[in-house]
Structure 1
Amino acid sequence: MTSEEERGLLTSRDAGPVDIVNRDGRGGFLLLGDHAGNAVPEQLEGLGLSKADMMSHIALDLGVADIGRLLARVLDAPFAAQRYSRLVIDCNRALSDDEAITPMSDRVIIPRNSCLQPAEREARAEAIYRPYHRAIADLLDERSLRNRPTIPVSLHSFTPTLAGDARPWHIGVLYGGGDERFATEVLHALRLEDGLIVGDNRPYQFDDTDFTVPYHAIAAGLPYVEIELRQDEIATSDQQAHWATLLAQILTSAAQKIGIQSTSAQ
């Protein structure tokens, strides 16, 4: 057996699917990045896309990896980030959803996603999707064993325009079902900030296409929030630092208002 030998879809030259930052963080949050990365397994040959495509919003949620790491430090919270592109497999979709491996995104055809056989879909699920969700479940179990109250915070970003339509919101707060108290507190606090256009389930509606929060938070009765940041708001390090500071303050305050005390590294 050589170091080059394949282990399913991923080889020894491929990174593991999940990057966990600050695993033992003691703060009251678990930060999640379903679309934080844009890696592609070597065997999939870049999915047949250009480097520009793989650096664009169709391949990943731009800025989320950086925001997540900043928040992990400020909030002393773990951050579980998917390293592989949403175009390989979308970890915020049920495996039964046809869009879990989409053949097209924002009018761009994904050549290696066309006419996939069931075995090919299963290989992506086994190598990338299931390890990510097992990692989240393990983090929640670890924190429960340590009696650490936990609020999952799912971090996403969205492009300023989609299919030619401008999207005016600076940030969106998504929620729908389960314990919505925390999400609505976050929404209220953001709306008090001068100059911010805040979307209430905008630019996306939280619905049955979402998987991560319903599966890990709503099913367990945990308070939660899914946050969408507009990508031109978090394009630079200064912007990212600003948003990390603001979100840390708002998340901490919202947790306290629903009776969950959060420690902070500040």
Structure 2
Amino acid sequence: MSGPGPLLGPDDPAPVDVRNGEAVSPFLMICDHAGNAVPAALGSLGLAQAELDRHIGIDIGILGVSVRLSDRLGVPLVFQRYSRLVVECNRRHDAPDLIAPVSDGTPVPGNAGIDAAERERRLAEIVAPYHREIVARLDARAAAGLPTVLVSMHSFTPSLRAQPFQRPWHVGLCYGADDRFSRPVLAALEAEPGLVIGRNEPYGVDMATSYSIPVHGEERGLPYVEFEIRQDLIGEAAGQALWAERLERVLRRAHAAFAGG
């Protein structure tokens, strides 16, 4: 499933897309796992479509939430179209699960025994364009003197197959040492009725292996928030709309508190 020459062909989707790119906002939103496309050159990675449609292949529902939230807030959204099983855009290049041979107990035949050239091909054609777009936008905002809060959008499965456990959180925030913006977001979420909120649950930010928040947030010194929304709550359009409306309120309240408004 690997070979010389370009990975992406003329009929493959572009690896990165932007919505509301000209919007002027205190926020820049990113979505690492918005899609589950696989380059034609890789077939289906040896997987049934049902596997690519699972949480191992895509952050279910999060693009629908992100698009709606981008429109409601007037926020630029940068999102990535390829499956995390092709290459994981939120990992350092030396992370062991950058190209996972097994994910949540499911073997990925197209990732078994790939060589360094294939690894580099996936990095160069999928990961690099996505992060270049984010860097270019952050650099342009910095040059213009426009303060930026980075908003990273993710979703999580209610239970892993390999480690069955019903995760109780409706939404979690993931943060590292810099929790400047996570704190007012937590306060705003707590004002929303009936939510079970995770603090670095179901995941935290791993500075050694994760990429987007460590590099674009922590290393730049930018305030940020990383949302993780449980997938059964946003699998359909109605839930996506509800969560976009909710996060619009939360981000407006949090930013007002953060900016001293």
Q: TM-score range by the shorter chain?
A: over 0.9
Aligned to 2:180: 181
How far did 1:218 drift? 1.1
Taking the TM superposition and a 5 Å limit, the aligned residue runs for 1:97-246 are 97-162=95-160, 163-178=163-178, 180-208=179-207, 209-246=209-246
The DSSP-based 3-state class of the residue aligned with 2:43 is helix
Map residues 35-54 of structure 1 onto 2, 5 A cutoff. Answer: 35-54=33-52
Q: Letter of the 1:87 partner, please give it.
A: L
Amino acid at match of 1:237: A
Q: Does the 8 Å contact 2:205/2:214 carry over to 1?
A: no
* 1:12 partner letter: P
- 1:29 corresponding residue in structure 2: 27
Equivalents in 2 of 1:127, 1:221: separation in Å?
28
CA contact (8 A) 1:30 1:153 kept: yes
Alpha-carbon distance in 2 for matches of 1:110, 1:139: 34
Q: Do 1:17 and 1:127's aligned partners in 2 also have CA atoms closer than 8 Å?
A: yes
Q: What is the identity, as a one-letter code, of the residue corresponding to 2:203? A: Y
1:168 partner amino acid = P
Q: Match of 2:204, as an amino acid?
A: Q
- What residue in structure 2 maps to residue 90 of structure 1? 88
Structure 2: how far apart are the matches of 1:40 and 1:131? 16
Per the TM alignment, residue 181 of structure 1 is displaced from its structure 2 partner at its CA by 1.2
Cα distance in 1 for residues equivalent to 2:102 and 2:148: 36
Which runs of structure 1 show a deviation greater than 6 angstroms over 4 or more consecutive aligned residues? none
Kept after mapping to 2: 8 A contact 1:28/1:260:
no
Q: How far is 1:141 from its partner?
A: 1.9
Q: 2:146 and 2:61 mapped to 1: Cα distance?
A: 28
Number of aligned residue pairs: 255
How large is the Cα RMSD of the aligned pairs?
1.4
Greater alpha carbon shift after TM alignment, 141-150 vs 80-89:
141-150
Name structure 2 gaps, 5 residues minimum.
Answer: none
The CA deviation at 1:116 is 0.8
Q: 2:23 is paired with a residue of what secondary structure?
A: coil
Distance 1:221 1:29 in 2: 15
- 8 A Cα contact 1:172 1:198, kept in partner: yes
Which residue of the partner structure matches residue 79 of structure 2? 81
C-alpha separation in 2, matches of 1:63 and 1:97: 26
Consecutive unaligned residues in structure 1, runs of 5 or more: 1-5, 262-266
1:219 is displaced (CA, Å) by 1.1
Tell me the alpha carbon deviations over residues 32-72 of structure 1, each in whole angstroms, 9 at most, x when there is no partner. Answer: 11011100011000111001011111101001111111011
Q: Indicate the residue corresponding to 2:255 in structure 1.
A: 255
Residues 176-233 of structure 1, C-alpha deviations (whole Å, 9 max, x = no match): 123x111111112212322100000001122223210110111111100110000011
Deviates more, 1:145-154 or 1:226-235: 145-154
Separation (CA, whole Å) in 1 of partners of 2:138 and 2:31: 15
8 Å contact from structure 2 (residues 205, 213) kept in 1: no
**1:144 Cα deviation from its structure 2 partner:** 2.5
Q: What SS is found at the alignment partner of 1:91? A: coil
1:148 Cα offset (Å):
2.5
Q: Percent identity?
A: 44
Given that 1:149 and 1:260 are in contact with CA atoms closer than 8 Å, whether structure 2 keeps it comes out as: no
* Aligned-pair CA distance for 1:147: 3.1
- TM value normalised by structure 2: 0.94
The one-letter code of the counterpart of 2:173 is V
User: 2:30 is paired with a residue of what secondary structure?
Assistant: strand
- Tell me if the contact between 2:29 and 2:77 (Cα under 8 Å) persists in the aligned partners: yes
In 2, Cα distance between the equivalents of 1:28 and 1:219? 19
Q: Post-superposition shift, 1:142?
A: 2.4
CA distances 1:118-153 after superposition (whole Å, capped 9, x unpaired) = 000000000001111001001112223333221111
